């Protein structure tokens, strides 16, 4: 899943001219990478000790995106990261390019 995650970042960087210091850009690529790479499959989450059934994929994607944003020097706090993730979540989560769907 790590290679797939990084390939989504590479695709986004090439195709969308990302500014990695812009938290909304960073949040979007993290949301897409977590969702499309298999980072948040039921098995991966079970191995981490995170179990849930109701919209758990979305919860996992948001959690992992926030954790990644916290490492960005432009991010001031957890609330700052959460705000960026929540602002772009719907549009970025539904964008499955270059795939047809989430596998």
Phi, psi (deg, nearest 5) at residue 9: -60, -45
Task: Give the count of alpha carbons within 13 A of 5, CB side only.
Answer: 14
Q: Which of 6, 24, 45, 101 is catalytic?
A: 6
List Cα–Cα distances, 26 to 3, 5, 71, in angstroms: 18, 13, 11
**30 flagged as catalytic:** no
CB 30 within 8 A of CB 70: no
CB 95 within 8 A of CB 32: yes
Catalytic center residues: 6
């Amino acid at each position: 899943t790590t290679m797939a995650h990084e390939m989504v970042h590479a695709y986004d960087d090439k195709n969308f001219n990302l500014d990695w210091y812009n938290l909304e850009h960073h949040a979007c690529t993290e949301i897409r990478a977590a969702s499309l790479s298999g980072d948040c499959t039921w098995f991966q989450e079970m191995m981490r000790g995170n179990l849930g059934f109701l919209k758990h994929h979305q919860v996992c994607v948001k959690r992992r995106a926030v954790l990644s944003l916290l490492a960005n020097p432009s991010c001031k706090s957890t609330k700052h990261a959460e705000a960026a993730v929540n602002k772009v979540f719907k549009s970025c989560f539904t964008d499955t390019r270059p795939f047809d769907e989430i596998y």
